[in-house]
Amino acid sequence: AAGVIQSPRHLIKEKRETATLKCYPIPRHDTVYWYQQGPGQDPQFLISFYEKMQSDKGSIPDRFSAQQFSDYHSELNMSSLELGDSALYFCASSPYSYNSPLHFGNGTRLTVT
Amino acid sequence: GESVGLHLPTLSVQEGDNSIINCAYSNSASDYFIWYKQESGKGPQFIIDIRSNMDKRQGQRVTVLLNKTVKHLSLQIAATQPGDSAVYFCAENMVPNSGGSNYKLTFGKGTLLTVNP
């Protein structure tokens, strides 16, 4: 079965650089979520989109922005990167149906040096 | 609430034993709960879910128990296998505000399950 696809799998950037992470949801899933997971920590909700509109916002820094495109894929844009941004970034998708589980991709590991 | 922690709770079991992983959730208004399994280098993988109008749900080799009185969730894995070794997270779905998304999953602190052959 098709899963959530994230790219790249690994990304190394220097401080103050920018990064763009991409997410391709499961076909027919119209809702996308972004989560950040630090080492040894639980995933933290960043932001979500439904039908290309931002639907909810969590602990996303102002330096980050995201959008969902007409084909439902999503991109997370990160600017002025800081060492503390080093983490795993997961995208998840679901159909817009209350109480259906989120399906996660395998993440992008971002390392900021 | 937020989870803080560099040190995961751990559970070590022998292959073939039953495992019980516990989780305390934070919001009495949460009405949907999910258990995820996360292997190293991978994203959280859905195991089983339960709605707040139930107190038990069974899947293949897994059972989730929900005690709303004490806001407690548990995952039972029968006949644990080495392939079950992973970090297990419970997640609760906060009831969304009007106009918000249908999801704002909050993850609990993970538990590292190690299965010894």
What is the domain-level CATH number for residue B59? 2.60.40.10
Range from A43-47, A102-106, B27-31, B52-56 carrying the lowest mean pLDDT: B27-31
B13 pLDDT higher than 90: yes
> Is the CB of A48 less than 8 angstroms away from the CB of B104?
yes
Q: Is B67 contained in some domain?
A: yes
All domains of chain A, ordered by start, with CATH? 5-112 (2.60.40.10)
Query: Which residues of chain A register pLDDT less than 70?
Result: 1, 97-98
Instruction: Provide residues of A within 8 Å CB-CB of chain B.
Output: 4, 31, 33, 39-45, 48, 50, 55-56, 58, 90, 92, 94, 96-99, 101-107
Q: How confident is the model at residue B116 (pLDDT cuts 50, 70, 90)?
A: very high
Q: Name the residue range of residue B64's domain.
A: 17-95+102-116
* CB-nearest partner of B110 from A42, A90, A103: A42
Which pair of tokens denotes residue B2?
């937020």
- Quick one: pLDDT at residue B97? 54
DSSP, residue by residue, chain A: ----EEE-SEEEE-TT--EEEEEEPPTT--EEEEEEE-TTS--EEEEEEETTEEEEE-S--TTEEEEE-TTS-EEEEE-S--GGG-EEEEEEEE-S-TT---EE---EEEEE-
Q: Is B9 contained in some domain?
A: no
Q: Is B10 contained in some domain?
A: no
| Contact call for residues A75 and A91 (beta carbons, < 8 A) | no
Q: Closest approach of chain B CAs to the CA of A96, in angstroms?
A: 7
- Quick one: pLDDT at residue A101? 87
Q: Which tens digit of pLDDT belongs to each residue from A44-54?
A: 999 999 889 99
Residue B84: strand, helix, or coil:
helix
B59 pLDDT higher than 70: yes
Q: Which tens digit of pLDDT belongs to each residue from B71-108?
A: 999 999 999 999 999 999 999 987 655 444 556 788 99
Domain count, chain B: 1
| Contact call for residues A21 and A110 (beta carbons, < 8 A) | yes
- Quick one: pLDDT at residue B64? 98
The predicted model gives B21-39 an average pLDDT of: 92
> Is the CB of A101 less than 8 angstroms away from the CB of B34?
yes
